[in-house]
């Protein structure tokens, strides 16, 4: 099938764009549908066209071949794949590969291989856990963010036990009070398979348990480093922080808004009661002020009935 693409589209026009259906999946081929203006505009167009919200993938909708001509008739502008990506990048809406959970398997596995050589099967099992479909925030992106935050806060390479604890700290995640304890138990079982020494396994377990409350004792440098890395999301930009809160909410689809809101406000209030929020001077300098502002902003939001 041949597709004709416009040679020139005035920059002042706000549009929805679509590339040809060439991306195979589920027995058909798919197009990408994007906006060069805002996600609100994109969501509005998709809703009016009857496209399920489940087809949205962070910065675009995946639409099957049989919808292509209908979407063009509704006003989507036909462009080739390269131009669509350039328009998305120029709009500022492009989500980088490192922010896509599915794109992080190989980069993270390479990090695991460097940390625990010769035990790739254990790393693969952990990455499968971090990729479980119910995770929306506590996924591979969070794992990478914690590891990188620990590296940013360290003068040199972070202690091996801190990095191992980062890998295990949410390896079991069901959104229950037992998650940290179960993650610590998993660490003991899987690290034994790697022939890690007992003292190292016990230290990793201790660090994993600390992430339940993020209250390391004075002088606990490793605990402070891991807890601060885990909480680094609090110091992101206001927009990124709102994304984090929305992703956490999506991990509890079975909980109604009122119950979730009450629980979430309790969590936020508890974090604000930490004085300071971050234990290391490096983290306080980087994130303390913005984290407190983000938490206060969330706490001041009206609660849904």
Task: Specify if 3 maps to a domain.
Answer: no
Distance CA 100, CA 168 (A): 20
**Is the same domain home to 133 and 187?**
yes
Strand partners, 29: 24
Longest dimension (CA), the chain: 68
Kind of pairing between the strands at 23-25 and 61-64: unpaired
- In the predicted structure, residue 305 carries a pLDDT above the cut 50: no
Residue 9: predicted pLDDT: 40
Note the pLDDT tens digit of each residue in 199-250. 999 999 999 999 999 999 999 999 999 999 999 999 999 989 998 999 999 8
Strands annotated E in 75-209: 77-78
Mean pLDDT of the chain, nearest integer? 90
**Is the same domain home to 235 and 213?**
no
**Is the same domain home to 213 and 251?**
no
Q: Which of 221, 251, 281 is the last residue of a domain?
A: 221
**Is the same domain home to 212 and 128?**
yes
Task: Specify if 52 maps to a domain.
Answer: yes
Residue 8: predicted pLDDT: 39
Task: Specify if 29 maps to a domain.
Answer: yes
One DSSP character per residue, 8-50 reads: ---TT---EEE--S-EEETTEEEEEEEESS-HHHHHHHHHHTT
**Is the same domain home to 184 and 136?**
yes
Distance CA 199, CA 69 (A): 63
**Is the same domain home to 196 and 276?**
no
Task: Specify if 100 maps to a domain.
Answer: no
Strand partners, 226: none
Angle between helices 120-130 and 105-115 (to 10 degrees): 140
**Is the same domain home to 175 and 151?**
yes
Token output for 238:
């206001």
**Is the same domain home to 291 and 210?**
no
Q: Which residues contact 231 (CB under 8 A, 6 or more apart)?
A: 214, 271, 277, 278, 283, 287, 291
For residues 78-105, average pLDDT: 80
**Is the same domain home to 243 and 298?**
yes
Task: Specify if 156 maps to a domain.
Answer: yes
**Is the same domain home to 203 and 269?**
no
CA atoms within 13 A on the CB side of 264: 25
- C-alpha triplet 192, 227, 116: angle, nearest 5°: 30
One DSSP character per residue, 172-205 reads: S-SSSTTHHHHHHHHHHHHHHHTT--HHHHHHHH
Do the Cβ atoms of 104 and 144 come closer than 8 Å? yes
Domain carrying residue 136:
120-221
Distance CA 105, CA 130 (A): 10
Do the Cβ atoms of 16 and 53 come closer than 8 Å? no
Closest by CA to 131, choosing from 173, 188, 193, is 173
For the chain, the domain total comes to 3
Task: Specify if 70 maps to a domain.
Answer: yes
Lowest pLDDT segment from 11-25, 90-104, 196-210, 248-262: 90-104
> Residue 302: which pLDDT band, with cuts at 50, 70 and 90?
low
In 3-state terms, what secondary structure has residue 139? coil
Task: Specify if 106 maps to a domain.
Answer: no
**Is the same domain home to 50 and 89?**
yes
Q: Which of 194, 221, 248 is the last residue of a domain?
A: 221
**Is the same domain home to 47 and 125?**
no
Residue 14: predicted pLDDT: 62
């Amino acid at each position: 099938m041949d597709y004709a693409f416009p040679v020139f589209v005035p920059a002042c026009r706000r549009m929805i764009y679509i590339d040809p259906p060439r991306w195979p999946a589920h027995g058909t081929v798919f197009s990408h549908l994007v906006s060069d203006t805002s996600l609100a505009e994109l969501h509005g167009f998709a809703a009016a066209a009857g496209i399920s919200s489940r087809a949205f993938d962070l910065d675009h909708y995946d639409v099957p071949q049989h919808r292509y001509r209908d979407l063009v008739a509704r006003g989507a502008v036909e462009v080739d794949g390269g131009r669509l990506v350039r328009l998305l990048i120029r709009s500022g809406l492009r989500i980088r590969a490192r922010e896509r959970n599915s794109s992080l398997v190989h980069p993270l596995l390479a990090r695991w291989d460097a940390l625990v050589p010769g035990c790739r099967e254990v790393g693969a099992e952990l990455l499968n856990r971090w990729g479980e479909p119910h995770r929306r925030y506590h996924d591979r992106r969070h794992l990478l963010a914690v590891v990188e935050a620990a590296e940013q806060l360290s003068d040199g390479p972070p202690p091996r036990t801190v990095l191992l604890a980062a890998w295990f700290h949410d390896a079991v995640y069901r959104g229950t009070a037992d998650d940290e304890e179960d993650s610590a138990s998993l660490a003991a079982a899987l690290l034994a398979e790697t022939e890690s020494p007992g003292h190292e396994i016990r230290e990793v377990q201790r660090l994993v348990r600390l992430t339940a409350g993020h209250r390391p004792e004075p002088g606990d440098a490793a605990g402070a480093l891991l807890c601060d890395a885990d909480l680094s999301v609090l110091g992101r930009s206001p927009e990124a922080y709102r994304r984090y809160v929305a992703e956490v909410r999506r991990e509890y689809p079975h909980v109604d808004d009122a119950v979730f809101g009450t629980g979430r406000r309790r969590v936020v209030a508890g974090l604000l009661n930490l004085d300071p929020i971050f234990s290391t001077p490096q983290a306080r300098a980087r994130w303390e002020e913005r984290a407190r502002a983000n938490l206060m902003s969330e706490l001041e939001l009206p609660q849904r009935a």
